[in-house]
Structure 1
Amino acid sequence: MKKTLLTVSVALALSFSVQASTYDDLIQGAKLGDVAEIRTLLGRGASADTTDIEGNTLLMLAARDGHGDLVQLLINHRAKLNARNAAGDTALALAALRGHLRVVQLLTDAGASQSVPGWPPLVYGAFGGHRQIVTWLLGKGANIDAASDNGMTALMAAARGGHIDIVKDLLKAGADTTKKTDAGQTARDIALGNNNTDIASLLGSR
């Protein structure tokens, strides 16, 4: 009986060790964009929706760091496109914030939503000054006046960062200049508060 219990204990310990090793390999592989490693692990039955301790899925980790080929692999393995991490961000939002246009394109073409609660990808793209991403997301049906949890729109985010070309694009596309944050600030107020007087003047003329 003791030998049987010992055998079972050893088997369980080995099983947990293998699982832990696989988990570590998945997370590290996603961060490095190691397509071959992730493909092998998925082929062995690993979940494409494995998450790290902060709730980041493999897709989020790959999207955040711009690993387009790995993003495509995970999409092909039906990874959850609209999962949110502990901060409330999706893979698409993280890619937009970091300026990874190809990844944004892959995710939106695969059906990733732009209207998941939290900070909209369009706001993140504008905040980061990523004009091509803003243009792409608008072309994919983004709500131009969608706001973050504190009421910040893409126009406000661009005004804050001094990204005048994005401000002009958003105005041309019909962005609402009268929207206010939870603190009661408009895009013009935010521009002035950040010494972006050229943008403030542009917004004031509207």
Structure 2
Amino acid sequence: MAAEDAREDAALELAQRLFDAAREGHTDTLTRYVSAGVPATMTNASGDSLLMLAAYHGHADTVGVLLEAGAEPDSLNDRGQTPLAGAVFKGYRDVVAALVAAGADPDAGTPTARASAEYFGKLDMLELLG
């Protein structure tokens, strides 16, 4: 039983390191792990995907790697938010452009990316959303 607990603890520790890597934009680290088989769609206890964390923290290169590895551009977290809405809210033009290019729906989630841009008067974001 102790060996099983140790493996579980190691897996949880690795997951936390990967979520931190997405949040901090450690693209090389995530590239290595995703290439080795870690799902690009992995989510934390709040439903935030690696993509959501990278997008919300403005890491366009990391977003690109995760999208190429199969991350879902319209994945919703437990609050119904999408990576695109988070990037619009934060004003990360390069992240928004990458998500839109990958087919992210500006009308998915609650609030939608489009609604966020309109509410906060981010006309430049509205232009990117099309």
Give TM-score, length-normalised by structure 1.
Answer: 0.54
Q: Residue deviations 1:135-175, cap 9 Å, x none?
A: 1111111112111xxx20112222344433112322xx1xx
Shift of 1:124: 0.9
| AA in 1 matched with 2:12 | T
Q: Is the 8 A contact 1:145 1:153 kept in 2?
A: yes
Query: For the residues of structure 2 that align with 1:76 and 1:144, how far apart are their CA atoms?
Result: 29
Q: Is the 8 A contact 2:41 2:70 kept in 1?
A: no
| AA in 1 matched with 2:44 | N
State the 4+ residue runs in structure 1 displaced beyond 4 angstroms: none
- Where structure 1 has 5 or more consecutive residues not aligned to the other structure, the ranges are 1-11, 24-49, 174-206
Percentage identity across aligned positions? 32
2:31 paired with 1:69: no
RCO comparison, higher one (Cα < 8 Å, 6+): 2
- Where structure 2 has 5 or more consecutive residues not aligned to the other structure, the ranges are none
Q: Is the 8 A contact 2:75 2:83 kept in 1?
A: no
Q: Residue deviations 1:114-138, cap 9 Å, x none?
A: 2333221111111110011111111
Give TM-score, length-normalised by structure 2.
Answer: 0.82
RMSD: 2.4
Count of aligned residue pairs for this structure pair = 124
Max radius of gyration: which structure? 1
2:40 paired with 1:81: yes
